[in-house]
């Protein structure tokens, strides 16, 4: 397959457009910090953006397409060779202290000791693992000096983690001469970065890394998986997406067992139980890994007289699964096997099973199947023929439906997110929803261009500014926590003379 090179630039304008002048100071500060710490400037810079997911929440790990766009907030990394270890520093040294790891690519990431450097380490391991899988010879491994700076707020649902993993991977591929993109597509690169991020202990899907690698200025993307590929989705004229951080911090890696990873387990159990109840042999049912894999089985049973199976998965959920919780014993009886046997070798799932014995299968599956259908619906509206106003109204409705489903069926909203969404809807948002994993973090609201200024003013005064008074935000970071965003470009390598 022909390669898609990582985009490489020697100027900031081609990456950041008109925002380049403002961003330049960050690169200069990073370069100075690197020089002050390591006595040399970075040999190479890389950057990767955060993202906002417009629709399609908690369905990427179930195999379904999602519809995100890259945002202007990003992580930048500067790297030079030196020493024997991996020394990782952050421009914001007061928040993120220096870390030193061995340069051994085969080391394990200590997920019990969660720290920000684990994301760099995950990328490091991922790059070498991918090179080995491709049969590339391992180069001499020198130590590396790394300086990082990021503007994607952490724990906010804007993928600060993917931004750091992707920026680090792009820089590391260059440093070690592994130009995977010569024979691989950028989609494959985003697949390995997604796998790499799992080293930090979250069973994540691949959305964040895909859009961080494949984002494009001015265009949202429908991202599909297996293999990863992205299709352009031009947004209607006159529509702006406003992101507002609820400031309820949801640290995905630390809370994974009771939240994100629990949902991943619940979906897997829902798929297996549904398969069994649809009449699959028990062994085959236990092998079903995602709700998407179940679609052909559902279709065979539910196809209507004209062969239509639209809505069939949801019909199966309502008919075959009961609301409320399933106990572990009930699931084991249906599947005729101990739960642990379904998740062999999956350390994250083992932690979930050790902590939880009751699982909501009906509601989780109902969310996944209904949310999965909203993604192509959103794309179809964007690509369709209606007026801009009609399109905006239809997209707003899909976003509102998504929020209701995330809140009521997937239970991944929280009181702060609900509060911001309600405020947004009362002040001009056509649609508003949580974005990313949820349980805190950001909302995304669809606002007509002419209403954006007033909308930003009200949300800032009524929700965001009071957080400054509470000491949870500073005046300087206010604009990174509530802003209107246009789709931005994806990861890039920068050869800069600063």
**Which residues form the catalytic set?**
208
Residue 232 CB partners (closer than 8 Å, separation 6+): 216, 219, 220, 221
Q: Given the complex with ligand NG1, which of 161 and 443 has the nearer CB atom?
A: 161
Q: Cβ(447)–Cβ(428) under 8 Å?
A: yes
The CA–CA distances, whole Å, from 371 to 58, 84, 322, 411 equal 9, 48, 19, 14
Query: What DSSP string runs through 394-432?
Result: HHHHHHHHHHHHHHHTS----HHHHHHHHHHHHTT-SEE
Q: Cβ(68)–Cβ(207) under 8 Å?
A: yes
Q: How far is the CB of 260 from ligand NG1 (least distance, A)?
A: 6
Axis-axis angle for helices 452-459, 415-426 (nearest 10): 140
- Out of 126, 153, 157, 490, point to the residue binding ligand NG1 (CB under 6 A): 157
Q: How far is the CB of 445 from ligand NG1 (least distance, A)?
A: 17
Tell me if 208 contacts ligand NG1 by CB under 6 A. yes
- Out of 89, 90, 204, 488, point to the residue binding ligand NG1 (CB under 6 A): 204
SS3 64: coil
Please say whether the dihedral angle defined by the alpha carbons of residues 91, 253, 459 and 391, taken in this order, is positive or negative.
positive
In whole angstroms, give the CA distance from residue 122 to residue 385.
Answer: 44
The tally of CA atoms less than 13 A away on the side-chain side of residue 63 is 14
DSSP classification of residue 136: P
What phi and psi, each to the nearest 5 degrees, are found at residue 16?
-105, -5
Of 124-132, 201-209, 300-308, 386-394, the segment contacting ligand NG1 by CB under 6 A is 201-209
Q: Given the complex with ligand NG1, which of 367 and 391 has the nearer CB atom?
A: 367
Q: Is 492 exposed, middle or buried (0-12, 13-18, 19+ CB in 10 A)?
A: buried
In whole angstroms, give the CA distance from residue 63 to residue 289.
Answer: 10
Tell me if 192 contacts ligand NG1 by CB under 6 A. no
Q: Which of residues 10-69 bind ligand NG1 (CB under 6 A)?
A: 53, 57-58, 60-61
In whole angstroms, give the CA distance from residue 79 to residue 122.
Answer: 16
- Out of 80, 154, 161, 403, point to the residue binding ligand NG1 (CB under 6 A): 161
Q: How far is the CB of 250 from ligand NG1 (least distance, A)?
A: 7
**302: which strand partners?**
none
Q: How far is the CB of 249 from ligand NG1 (least distance, A)?
A: 12
Tell me if 371 contacts ligand NG1 by CB under 6 A. no
Q: Given the complex with ligand NG1, which of 197 and 400 has the nearer CB atom?
A: 197
Tell me if 398 contacts ligand NG1 by CB under 6 A. no
- Out of 171, 202, 275, 381, point to the residue binding ligand NG1 (CB under 6 A): 202
The interface mask with ligand NG1, positions 297-326, x = CB under 6 A, is: ------------------------------
SS3 302: helix
Q: How far is the CB of 159 from ligand NG1 (least distance, A)?
A: 4
Q: Given the complex with ligand NG1, which of 171 and 406 has the nearer CB atom?
A: 406
Q: Given the complex with ligand NG1, which of 12 and 202 has the nearer CB atom?
A: 202
- Out of 15, 162, 351, 434, point to the residue binding ligand NG1 (CB under 6 A): 162
Q: Given the complex with ligand NG1, which of 87 and 246 has the nearer CB atom?
A: 246
Residues that bind ligand NG1 (rule: CB under 6 A) add up to a total of 18
Q: Given the complex with ligand NG1, which of 52 and 144 has the nearer CB atom?
A: 52
In which residue are the tokens 């979906």 written?
267
In whole angstroms, give the CA distance from residue 399 to residue 426.
Answer: 15
Q: How far is the CB of 493 from ligand NG1 (least distance, A)?
A: 22
Q: Cβ(59)–Cβ(375) under 8 Å?
A: yes
Residues in the chain: 498
Q: Given the complex with ligand NG1, which of 274 and 444 has the nearer CB atom?
A: 444
Q: Which of residues 242-271 bind ligand NG1 (CB under 6 A)?
A: 252
Q: How far is the CB of 442 from ligand NG1 (least distance, A)?
A: 8
Q: Cβ(76)–Cβ(167) under 8 Å?
A: yes
Tell me if 159 contacts ligand NG1 by CB under 6 A. yes
Using CB under 6 A, list all residues that contact ligand NG1: 53, 57-58, 60-61, 157, 159, 161-162, 197, 202, 204-205, 207-208, 252, 436-437
């Amino acid at each position: 397959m022909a390669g898609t090179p990582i985009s490489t630039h020697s100027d900031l304008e081609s990456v950041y457009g008109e925002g380049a002048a403002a961003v330049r100071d960050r690169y200069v500060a990073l370069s100075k910090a690197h020089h002050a710490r390591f006595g040399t400037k970075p040999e190479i810079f890389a950057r990767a953006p955060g993202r906002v997911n417009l629709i399609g929440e908690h369905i990427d790990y179930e195999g379904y397409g999602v519809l995100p766009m890259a945002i202007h907030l990003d992580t930048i990394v500067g790297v030079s060779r030196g020493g024997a270890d991996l020394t990782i520093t952050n421009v914001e040294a007061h928040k993120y202290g220096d870390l030193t790891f061995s340069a051994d690519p085969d080391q394990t990431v200590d997920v019990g000791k969660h720290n920000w450097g684990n994301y760099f380490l995950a990328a490091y391991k991922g790059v070498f693992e991918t090179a080995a899988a491709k049969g590339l010879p391992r180069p001499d491994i020198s130590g590396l000096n790394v300086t990082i700076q990021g503007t994607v707020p952490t724990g906010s649902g804007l993928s600060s983690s993917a931004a750091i993993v992707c920026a680090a991977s792009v820089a590391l591929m260059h440093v070690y001469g592994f130009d995977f993109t010569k024979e691989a597509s950028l989609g494959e690169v985003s697949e390995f970065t997604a796998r790499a991020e799992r080293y930090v202990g979250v069973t994540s899907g691949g959305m964040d890394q895909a859009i961080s690698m494949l984002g494009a200025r001015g265009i949202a993307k429908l991202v599909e998986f297996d293999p990863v590929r992205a299709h352009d989705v031009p947004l209607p004229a006159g529509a702006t997406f406003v992101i507002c951080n609820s400031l309820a911090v949801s640290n995905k890696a630390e809370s994974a067992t009771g939240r994100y990873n629990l949902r991943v387990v619940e979906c897997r159990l829902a798929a297996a139980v549904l398969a069994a109840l649809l009449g699959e042999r028990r062994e085959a049912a236990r092998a079903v890994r995602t709700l998407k894999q179940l679609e052909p089985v559902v279709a065979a049973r539910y196809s209507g007289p004209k062969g239509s199976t639209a809505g069939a998965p949801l019909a199966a959920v309502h008919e075959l699964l009961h609301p409320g919780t399933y106990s572990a014993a009930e699931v084991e009886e249906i599947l005729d096997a101990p739960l642990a046997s379904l998740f062999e070798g999956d350390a994250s799932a083992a932690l979930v099973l050790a902590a939880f014995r009751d699982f909501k299968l009906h509601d989780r599956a109902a969310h996944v199947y209904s949310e999965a259908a909203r993604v192509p619906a959103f794309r179809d509206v964007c690509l369709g023929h209606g007026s801009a106003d009609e399109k905006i109204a239809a997209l707003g409705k899909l976003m509102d439906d998504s929020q209701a489903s995330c809140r009521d069926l997937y239970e991944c909203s929280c009181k702060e997110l609900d509060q911001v969404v309600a405020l947004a809807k009362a002040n001009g948002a056509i649609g508003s929803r949580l974005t990313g994993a949820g349980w805190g973090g950001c909302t995304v609201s669809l606002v007509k261009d002419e209403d954006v200024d007033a909308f930003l003013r009200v949300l800032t005064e009524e929700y965001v500014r009071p957080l400054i008074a509470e000491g949870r935000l500073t005046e300087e970071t206010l604009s990174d926590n509530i802003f209107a965003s246009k789709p931005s470009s994806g990861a890039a390598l920068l050869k800069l003379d600063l």
